Chain A
């Protein structure tokens, strides 16, 4: 996310937002905007990380591109989510960030 587009509101000077759950078939996402030029930083926790790390990264990159987000920190706790769930939760978290976080 381009930080020029959002207002920093919390004590750490960052807007943080989450979406999803750690229930089976879901994914829990936490996002924080980064300063312009910092790029995309991701941490992934998944039971299927060794098998699907590349696939998950691909889905995330595509969604970020679609949303026009280029500087963001994303924490992903995957519980076997299908691609559409990952897409939806990531979009929701980013939407919530742009609305002031929650």
Chain B
């Protein structure tokens, strides 16, 4: 499970890898793609492999790795180093339908070559117009998919449109992604908020993402983690209301009622389902397992 927050950390900076141990994001994504200059792809890959072999905290944290574009040779070298280290989910950038089949084939080949007894999970990063348009097919294209990440910077570049602070240009694509992810039953992680000093803006953007159905949000700076975790955790008010809803519905059911009233508001099955989801999130947020 990726959870509420996933922070991206460049895999070629030892001090940042070392300090990941103290980060309290729900997940950490070590990055071999955009934050790594082309001439340092080799060193980042080797550094990450050695870190995985040596640092105990990596086995205790929820770790993902963003590999390079599957259409490049960097991807082949990435998976050769990373896949044998364990079943850490790979974030796959620039997905479209054609490279999803390449990803599946190449991962199968590596798993077979190294005789691995696990199948590496993947999380497509949707960041093109094509990716948005074909998201339903993409999510059906591999049984490895556990989540989908949304990348608005590359998407707006691909579309040739400007990003605005209120993000109205992304409403359709964001909604399309969350609905598709919901149908597929996978987590959906919103794009990072790039103005790292603007925590109020981040809070607003994360709240919109949550409202649209995102299950979490990517972070690019440690200072963003608390805000994201807070926004994506149920509030005390929501928890208390959900407890009252479940209680009222359970008692009503004993009396043979399918619909009950709680403080004058009608409670039926969809309301109870939503309340139970909030309580589940609250338990997970407090470190409890399902």
Contact = CB atoms under 8 A, between A and B. Distances in A.
B42 A92 contact: yes
A19 B55 CA distance: 21
A60 to B, nearest CB: 14
A95 B18 CA distance: 24
Contacts of B47: 84-85, 88-89, 92
A88 B42 contact: no
B183 to A, nearest CB: 42
Contacts of B18: 25, 82
Contacts of B43: 19-20, 88-89, 92
Interface string B37-59: 00100110011011101110000
Interface string A63-92: 000000000000000000111110111011
B13 interface: yes
Contacts of B258: none
A14 interface: no
B14 A85 contact: yes
Contact of B51 (A26, A84, A92, A95): A84
B46 A84 contact: no
Nearest to B53: A84
Given A85-B47, A88-B49, A25 B14 contact: yes
Contacts of A87: 50, 54
Contacts of B51: 84, 88
A42 interface: no
Interface of A: 19-20, 23-26, 81-85, 87-89, 91-92, 95-96, 102
A83 B14 CA distance: 11
Contact of A91 (B14, B39, B46): B46
Contacts of A95: 42, 46
Given A23-B15, A25-B18, 7 more contacts: A19-B43, A82-B18, A82-B54, A85-B50, A88-B47, A91-B46, A102-B39
Given A82-B54, A88-B47, A96 B14 contact: no
Contacts of A83: 54
For the complex of A and B, 6 pairs with smallest distance between CB atoms: A84-B54, A25-B15, A88-B50, A84-B50, A88-B47, A92-B43
B246 to A, nearest CB: 48
Contact of B46 (A25, A26, A88, A102): A88
B10 to A, nearest CB: 12
Contacts of A24: 15
Nearest to A81: B14
Given A82-B54, A85-B47, A87-B50, A23 B13 contact: yes
Contacts of B39: 102
Contacts of B55: 84
A26 to B, nearest CB: 5
29 contacts: A23-B14, A24-B15, A25-B14, A25-B18, A26-B14, A26-B15, A81-B14, A82-B14, A82-B18, A82-B54, A84-B47, A84-B51, A84-B53, A84-B54, A84-B55, A85-B14, A85-B47, A85-B50, A87-B50, A87-B54, A88-B50, A91-B46, A91-B50, A92-B42, A92-B43, A92-B46, A95-B42, A95-B46, A102-B39
Scoring B42, B49, B50, B54 by chain A CB atoms within 10 A of each residue's CB, the highest score goes to B50
A102 B54 CA distance: 28
A95 B49 CA distance: 15
A83 B43 CA distance: 15
Contacts of B50: 84-85, 87-88, 91
A14 B36 CA distance: 28
B19 to A, nearest CB: 9
